[in-house]
Amino acid sequence: MATKKSAKTPNVSADELKSYYRDMLLIRRFEEKAGQLYGMGLIGGFCHLYIGQEAVVVGLEATAKEGDSRITTYRDHGHMLACGMDPNGVMAELTGREDGYSKGKGGSMHMFSKEKRFYGGHGIVGANVPLGAGIAFADKYKGNDNVTFTYFGDGAANQGQVYETFNMAALWDLPVIFVIENNQYAMGTSQQRSTSSAEIWERGKAFGIPGEAVDGMDVLAVKAAGEKAVAHCRSGEGPYILEIKTYRYRGHSMSDPAKYRTREEVQKMRDERDPIEQVRKLLLTGDHATEDDLKSIDKEIKKIVNDSAEFAKNSPEPALEELWTDIYATEVPQEA
């Protein structure tokens, strides 16, 4: 049976708190820099920023082990950084350069890392969900205890392929965690207007998949729920659903003016629920860090991000011949 909303938070050390703070800050600063480069015309196409949602991936990656996989949609830069992909390679790919993770051919929505078992952002809403189940199927077939984190949003949760995947994952007891990153507005329509059920995770009940809702602005709450989900999957009990209720501060993409909500609403969330600020307060009030310590971390992160931007700018454009590499077919079929 499905479980109710989790209120448990894990015990964490000062070093762990600092690590979460640093990782979330890296995502925040990286995305701010990506937004700047987009405005300068150095990033083309679509660019979906993760600002505000940092606690989701940082909390879940804290529960992952070597061999686990992750796959998501197009709001994916945070996922890449959280699983340890190099900011230089990520920024170079965003700018379409040769030193990017997909050699400049994937851009914001289509980069991968075999080493980190990051199987991409995907541009088609919900299309990554069955792919995530497929990765989990491969792990089960091999007989290991790896888990696949399959991320998608509240908008994608209304796709039919999601429920076909739920059915197969439940039938085959696949070790997949379906992570619904519910930022409340999908592409631009509020959940209240687009989704008939207030608690999306409860849809798993129809397939016998347990799950819970999680406060996605609290990295410790996300970690606690993630530990429970991971233990469930590793023990062979099948899939698990986490509906992580979060909030993005920017529009759906850089081209979205986000007129479907008020500035006051966004500012209230920033002031009262910001995930980075919550950890900052824990560090300071618990005497785990000083203001100078946190300023030093911020300085370090800004240097990493600025260096990644310079690396991207100095990386060459892909050669024309790259159009013909990394493809499945080498010959064009002749017409009959």
Q: Which distant-in-sequence residues (6+ apart) come within 8 Å of 109 by Cβ?
A: 45, 46, 48, 74, 76, 121, 122, 123
129-155 average pLDDT score: 97
pLDDT (average), residues 263-284: 97
What's the rounded Cα separation, in Å, for the pair 232 and 177? 9
- Tens digits of per-residue pLDDT, 219-250? 999 999 999 999 999 999 999 999 999 999 99
pLDDT of residue 198: 87
**Strand 69-71 to 240-245 pairing:** unpaired
Residues 6 or more apart whose CB falls under 8 angstroms from that of 129 comprise 150, 152, 156, 159, 161, 162, 165, 178
Average pLDDT, the chain: 94
Q: Residue 328: its pLDDT value, please?
A: 74
Q: Give 182-204 pLDDT, tens digit per residue.
A: 999 999 999 989 888 889 999 99
Query: Where does the pLDDT of residue 324 fall: very low under 50, low under 70, confident under 90, or very high at 90 and above?
Result: confident
* φ, ψ at 182 (rounded to 5°): -85, 95
Looking at residue 327, its pLDDT comes to 80
Q: Sorting pLDDT into bands at 50, 70 and 90, what band is 1?
A: very low
What is the strand order of the sheet 69-71 is part of? 69-71, 148-153, 176-182, 240-245, 211-215
Q: What was the pLDDT predicted at 329?
A: 60
Model pTM?
Answer: 0.93
The predicted-structure confidence for 276-323, as pLDDT tens digits, reads as follows 999 999 999 999 999 999 999 999 999 999 999 999 999 999 999 988
* Boundaries of every domain in the chain: 14-313
Residue 181's pLDDT is what?
A: 98
Instruction: Please compute the mean of the pLDDT values over residues 211-216 and round it to a whole number.
Output: 98
Q: CATH number of the domain at 14-313, out of 3.40.50.80, 3.90.950.20, 3.40.50.10800, 3.40.50.970?
A: 3.40.50.970
Q: Which residue has the tokens 């190099």?
A: 86
- pLDDT value at position 330? 59
pLDDT of residue 63: 98
Q: What is the pLDDT of residues 123-138, one digit of tens each?
A: 999 999 999 999 999 9
Given a contact cutoff of 8 angstroms between Cβ atoms, the answer to whether 272 and 215 are in contact is no
User: Residue 157: what pLDDT?
Assistant: 95
pLDDT tens for residues 19-72?
Answer: 999 999 999 999 999 999 999 999 999 999 999 999 999 999 999 999 999 999
Is residue 8 pLDDT above 90, yes or no? no
